[in-house]
Structure 1
Amino acid sequence: MATPNVKDIVEQQSRGPRLERSIRLNFVGDWGMANFHRICSWLTQQFCDRAGRDSRVGIWNIRYGGIEAVLEVFRGEAQLAIATPAQMISTALTGQGIFAPYGPMPSLRALGVLPQNDRLILAIDPKYGIKSFEDLRQKRPPLRIATSTNDGTNFIGFTAYAFMECHGITSEVLESWGGKYITAHRPEQAIAFVQAGEADALLQEAIMTPWWADIIENYKYDVLHAEPSALARFAETYPNTAAQDPDPLPAGFWSTLTEPLHTLDFSDFVVLVRDDLPEDVAHLLTWCLVETRSAIEGQYKHLKPERSPLTYPLSPAKMAQSPIPLHEGAKRYYQEAGHL
């Protein structure tokens, strides 16, 4: 982690809009030790430095797969949450996909998007000699696939099962081969199943982490290209769930990846609020997101940008490009700052 410059911190604290009144907010991050909590902590300090002296922010964790964060903002139980992948959150507005049981949530708004270059990838133990999905369907091995829980709360699990189904491999098909899914909510828990010998395939995101590098570089797992027809089927069956036509993962991302890898996008963090959040509060939060971004970038600069779970440097113009409508306070900030 980069060492902060105290002079820069003091100078930064003197800038920006101010709220004279004290504000109490609830944010929802992640399970407690990942990027969403870090981002929430950054925003908490920057916001409270510029709000009334008795302002407080509570940062709540999630216990399931992440959908609860979106629901809590929609229901007014929290005022801000972070969710990924950003494109999937657009389906909350219309009540599609994983959000279908809850109905449309048209009041959700964004303060911005934080870039994160991620993919959902299937990797398989080399003992099976499987190099493609066609190989997988032909050989029908009894794979134990480690992935996230598909319980209606987990965005990763929902996407992972749908991704496999679009390749013609449902849970029932996998079980007919003698295989099964082994699941947990968090990515590192799924990866631990492989490292413990309890699984021999991995279907996950967070590809920039050392955990994934260990599976590919040391365990020598084979990664499978997504089939174009399956990606097209996914886009048709689960519209707006994943960004379309993402750049392939470049050759050399891992030493064993000798050609670009085409697979499903799982990118970007969206900062969610509701449309009735006071305009000046949304404006100040957005100002903090953009104008103090060096404070959060510095927490990732010990990593190369392509290996960072938050892709830096943050571009204000890109932060303003959200798959769901911007809050009016956020829109005002971006327009006044010339980013929109």
Structure 2
Amino acid sequence: MLALCLSVAAAGSVAAQPASPPPAPGDESHWQEVGATGFATKRLVLASACAEACPWGELGEFVRDAMKPAGYEIILCRNCNRTEGPRIVAEARFPPPLVDDDLRHGTVKRIKARIDFGITEASMMKWAYEGKFIYAKDGPYPNLRLIARIEDPTYLLVAVKPGLGITSLAEIRERRLPVRILTWMQPSEAPVLDYYGLDRESLKSWGASIVTPKDVTAETPFDVIISSLASPANNPESSFWTKLTVYHDLDYLELPQDLRDQMVAKVDMVHTVARWGVLPGVDRNIASVGRSGEVVFARDDMPDDMAYAAAKAIDENRGELKWFVRPYSIDPRTVGDGKGVPLHPGAARYYREKGYIK
């Protein structure tokens, strides 16, 4: 999820990132010494995120606290890793250098240790494993393994300012409207623009533009929102929806059935309904698509007993998930479902003992 920690670019537009190097001799800028870590210890470094309600940040805190009674010290890498999570876990990298977003949101230290496991969005783990979309140039990463899937639903919604006077996104191209479209251009959003022929160059030709919904306020200039992170929750990636629909009394548009079918088939979405009142201004049931799932994941070299301990701790403490900013939950029927990414054998042993998988 991605304003701070889940932001991704359009499918196929992110180049492979260089591996984050170990600290150079004498380079202590932002580094935080944490001592011995890794699978030979019970001190593991988790690729998490910032402490300001980012989903991967608060889930990192959940995993840290859940595993503590079993004798594990989980050290949180607080970088806003965005799309980098699967990469830095797969390659056991050091955390990447801090950027302005990190510093502005309270992450001022860079853990001086290699990453042992991580938290990311379920589809991103799958895309990295398969080498698709934003991981097409540098993937696949076949050593990734699922430990636990945690449900976390968001909707793909489209909304426009009432003054725009349109009932379909098709009118933007037909009328060459100079609109500002607020979207992350994620693989779960880009198909909407593709369907209506709203590529950047065409939009630019008639004075329209695509704007990243970063640090959105009520005064942020926009005309259209296309976002797969729609939710009434107050995490940074989704909170702009409530803010803008309250201030601007947005009109919500329903996407056509064939587009929704395409997104289910190609970008791991599911058919769902955004029901009356899910957000202010949603005054009817809207047929839509959505996604649900953050994942705790590791490499295939994590010892089985550690993966077992992580799965057990997450499951036994799942009742704590209801107290976080996002509406997390664990479904025994999906907790071990990596959508093609293999379940770590240690986690599989635990879920098999519980009867969650056969």
Please report the TM-score for the alignment, with normalisation by the length of structure 2.
0.73
**RCO higher in 1 or 2 (8 Å CA, sep ≥ 6)?**
1
Question: Which residue of the other structure, out of 244, 265, 269, is the alignment partner of 1:243?
Answer: 269
Task: Rate the CA distance shift 1:95–1:74 in 2: closer, same or farther, 3 A.
Answer: same
1:171-250 aligned within 5 A: 171-183=200-212, 186=214, 189=215, 191-192=216-217, 195-204=218-227, 205-209=229-233, 210-234=239-263, 239=266, 241-244=267-270, 246-250=271-275
1:265-280 aligned within 5 A: 265-280=290-305
Q: Which residue type is aligned with residue 161 of structure 1?
A: A
In the alignment, is the contact (CA less than 8 A) between 1:130 and 1:222 conserved in 2?
no
Question: Which residue of the other structure, out of 297, 311, 334, is the alignment partner of 1:286?
Answer: 311
Alignment of 1:168 with 2:192, yes or no, is no
1:1-340 aligned within 5 A: 22-33=41-52, 34-51=54-71, 55-63=72-80, 66-77=82-93, 78-84=115-121, 86-148=122-184, 157-183=186-212, 186=214, 189=215, 191-192=216-217, 195-204=218-227, 205-209=229-233, 210-234=239-263, 239=266, 241-244=267-270, 246-297=271-322, 299-300=323-324, 309-312=326-329, 314-323=330-339, 324-340=341-357
Report deviation, 1:62.
Answer: 3.3
In the alignment, is the contact (CA less than 8 A) between 1:87 and 1:242 conserved in 2?
yes
Please report the TM-score for the alignment, with normalisation by the length of structure 1.
0.77
Task: Rate the CA distance shift 1:318–1:266 in 2: closer, same or farther, 3 A.
Answer: closer
Report deviation, 1:336.
Answer: 0.1
Report deviation, 1:101.
Answer: 1.0
3-state DSSP of counterpart to 2:338:
coil
Report deviation, 1:331.
Answer: 0.7
Write the distance in 1 (CA, Å) between the matches of 2:46 and 2:134: 22
Write the distance in 2 (CA, Å) between the matches of 1:131 and 1:207: 22
Write 1 or 2 for the structure with the bigger share of strand.
Answer: 2
Write the distance in 1 (CA, Å) between the matches of 2:334 and 2:225: 31
Structure 2, unpaired ranges of 5+: 1-39, 94-114, 234-238
3-state DSSP of counterpart to 1:273:
strand
Write the distance in 2 (CA, Å) between the matches of 1:296 and 1:233: 32
Of all paired residues, the percent bearing the same amino acid is 22
Q: Aligned residue for 2:29?
A: none
Write the distance in 2 (CA, Å) between the matches of 1:220 and 1:247: 23
